Amino acid sequence: MDKEKAYALLRQEKWRVIDQSSLGPMFGALQSFAMDDTLCTAVGAGESDPAARSWVHHRTVVLGIQDTKLPFLSDALGVLEEAGYQYIVRNSGGLAVVLDEGVLNLSLVFPDSDKGIDINRGYDAMWLLVREMFKDFDVEIEAKEITESYCPGSYDLSIGDRKFAGISQRRIRNGVAVQIYLCVNGSGSERADLIRTFYDTGLRGEVTKFTFPNIRPEVMASLSELLGVELSVADVMLRFLQALKSSSGEIYSSALQGGEYAMYEAYYQRVVERNDKVLK
């Protein structure tokens, strides 16, 4: 990791903060994708300061396109419905992820500079920020693939080889959104068990063209479980704002502004239509 380059991304003169972490169960995951696409476009065009967004979705499984290729997809989706989860298909890579009221999601949205933000640099910036958020705990937060987790990737964040977070990236119109889900409280292994059952049901032992993770629930945990302290989403949100403030000149709270509303509506319509098409 090139720490200096990663820190440079966090050291913005101003951070525009959009906190959607307490909007409740009516705030859907498709709305989040439209929000990040809107912010990417505004930040990429130089019409907005770099943005930091937080959000929470209730009992939602976010699927990747690859998940829709399961041979017994309708049966697998039935598992989620039976467990009381809704589901959507996201417009970026990756595989199934569980979101609920104990999972805090964060996005950092940067302009893609002339030389371009290298993919790892964006991931490293988020990793450094999370390390800063929990620096008062005597633990090492590693970034490496936890292969038997759900949605495994090279920037899974873990403590003692147990994963509590995954990072992804979305690039659109000269903007880069680096997104992370942080399992704050609740049972990481129960969330993982739901996705294991989803894959077992969707595959029924068939060999497929795509590789799906062989999930061991015990390799996943929440931060509360790993740190031995009961954390709330509000606790972690405060840590996020403090870490952001310590690395930048100014942070200020904001909602969408002016033309961003129309942009958001157009992006939202697009993600809804795309989601419906994929699930049909």
* Residue 158 phi, psi (nearest 5): -145, 160
Taking CA atoms, 64 is separated from 8, 94, 125, in Å, by: 31, 5, 24
Catalytic residue among 103, 106, 128, 151: 151
Asked about 151 being catalytic, the answer comes back as yes
Which position has the token pair 């998940």? Answer: 67
- The end-to-end CA distance of the chain, in Å, is 42
Q: With b meaning 16 or more CB within 10 Å and e meaning fewer, what string describes 217-239?
A: bebbbbbbbbbeeebebebbbeb
* Residue 16 phi, psi (nearest 5): -90, 115
Among 56, 59, 106, residue whose Cα is nearest residue 87: 59
Kind of pairing between the strands at 103-111 and 51-55: antiparallel
- Name the residues annotated as catalytic: 151
